[in-house]
Amino acid sequence: MNNLSIKRLGRNVTYNALSFVAAFVVNFALLPFIISHVGKEIYGIYTLVMIITGYLFLCDFGMTAGVIKYVAEYLGNNDYDKVNDVISASFSVLLVIGILSALILVILSYYFDMLFNVQPDNKIIVKQLFWVAAVASLIVWPGKVFESALQGFQGYGWLAINNIGGAICTGLAAYIIFSHHMTITLYLAILYLIIIIRYLIAFTIIYKKLMAKKIKIFYYSKEMMRKLFGFGTYLFLGSLFSIIILQFDNILIGAFLSVSSVAVYAVVYNLQHVFRVLNGLLGGPLLPFNAEMEGKSQYEEQRTMVYKGTKYMSLTFVSMVIIAIFFAGPFITKWMGEGFNESILPAQILLSFWIFNGTLEVGMGMIVAKGIVKAPFKITALNAICNLGLSLILIRYYGIIGVVLGTTIPMILINFPSCLYLILKHTNITLKAFFDHAIKNNLKIYFIAGILSMITQIIYPPPNLIIILLEMTGVYILALLIGYRWVLSLGEREEISRIVRACI
């Protein structure tokens, strides 16, 4: 991989990281702020409505992922006519899906309280939230195409500006709305308005990049539709099973326990979701980057990416996970208050699977970029079935912890080894070579991170949230510095320095 490629990928990762930091800071501050103003019951309702709406937004038949892959791949061949066909075809499909989605949400607004125990005074809020989401679906669905196309163009600088601006506006809107005792329905409406503005900006940028080629509305091409659906169908089905793995827990808790318990679990899920997003920071830019290399037939460079990308990504990511597990107790207590102590152990359990699956993102991104989607779908389906079965059994005996165990066990025992096998098979890498080149030296740094986390809390138990964050940051930096100086080889240190310079 040449220096220009490393620099471009590094910049894209940096832009992605900046977007994540902005969204994380806003969401981190908003969760306790909103719950304190609307209460657990209404926030639980809002969470469930957003989850159901999110399920519908995943039903794009893998179209947005197909846009990212094929826009990048055709750009590798400088075929702008095909790029235009990809965007036009996917826009037409998602416009129709958006209309159907709106109808479904309107219907669901009348049956939500039959599935969940909602207090009579809050039933009107349920309908209002669904109606807002229904109207927004008419624009948000087709608008998704333009942000996906922007990723295919690897315009992560523009995406970062768009996302950071959206996060800031979301935070300001929440502060104004809830400080003045306005409704959560208005907050959702403003949230969708911000998303629509983001998509309009992405459309403007994409239109200029297409060099005056007009995007065709209600465009149909049999060849392009077959290609998009052929690639996207398995990704779509996999995303449906991923709902069961990482989000369906909220539905189970709301149905078997209480709506208020959904708010308690929201703390667990949001903490885990931070690491899911972090794990995707590199995976996002990698898909179009690898797809472009696929278009240029640069297969040796892809193999190098699996070794080095896995090594350095898991080094930085898994260390964070370990530190978060050790600090979960004081962190949740100081962040949300004593009333959320029951979230601590479930959060630690749920975070633990990222120690294993944090090594898969680079390799699985490579697999998808190559167009291999059927096998990952089968793994996800098996994982989801086991997850659902275990969760249904364990929730009756252990409550929230049972649901968390139902998610964590299959992720470690099924998803991790199966995906690792798939990566090694399609990259012609042996398990020993993968372990030696990408994992072995990192284990020492993980151990250092865990020891430093325990010692820090023993010497100075953190009295408030700011001190906790400072201690976690200090432990993380110190663990990486120790590993950089005494664990990594001279060649590895020089390589990391090159990557860091590329990201600046």
> Do 462 and 468 form a contact (C-beta atoms < 8 A)?
yes
Is 151 part of any domain?
yes
For 331-347, the pLDDT digits (tens) are 998 888 777 888 899 99
Cα 94 from Cα 272, distance rounded (Å): 30
Q: What is the mean pLDDT of the chain?
A: 84
Q: Number of structural domains, the chain? A: 1
- Region class of 178: left (phi > 0), else alpha (psi between -120 and 50), else beta: alpha
Greater pLDDT, 76 or 412: 412
The pLDDT confidence band at residue 450, using thresholds 50, 70 and 90, is: very high
Cα 366 from Cα 412, distance rounded (Å): 21
Is 80 part of any domain?
yes
Which domain range does residue 158 map to?
33-220
Three-class SS of 18-39? HHHHHHHHHHHHHHHHHHHHHH
Is 400 part of any domain?
no
Is 72 part of any domain?
yes
Is 493 part of any domain?
no
Q: Report the pLDDT value the prediction gives residue 473, as an integer from 0 to 100.
A: 94
Q: Report the pLDDT value the prediction gives residue 73, as an integer from 0 to 100.
A: 81
Is 86 part of any domain?
yes
pLDDT at residue 30 tops 90: no
The pLDDT confidence band at residue 349, using thresholds 50, 70 and 90, is: very high
Nearest one of 420, 421, 394 to 409, comparing CA atoms: 394
Cα 233 from Cα 60, distance rounded (Å): 9
Is 274 part of any domain?
no
pTM above 0.75, yes or no: no
Greater pLDDT, 258 or 85: 85
Three-class SS of 461-504? CCCCHHHHHHHHHHHHHHHHHHHHHHCCCHHHHHHHHHHHHHHC
pLDDT at residue 293 tops 80: no
Is 87 part of any domain?
yes
For 222-256, the pLDDT digits (tens) are 778 888 877 777 777 777 777 666 667 877 888 78
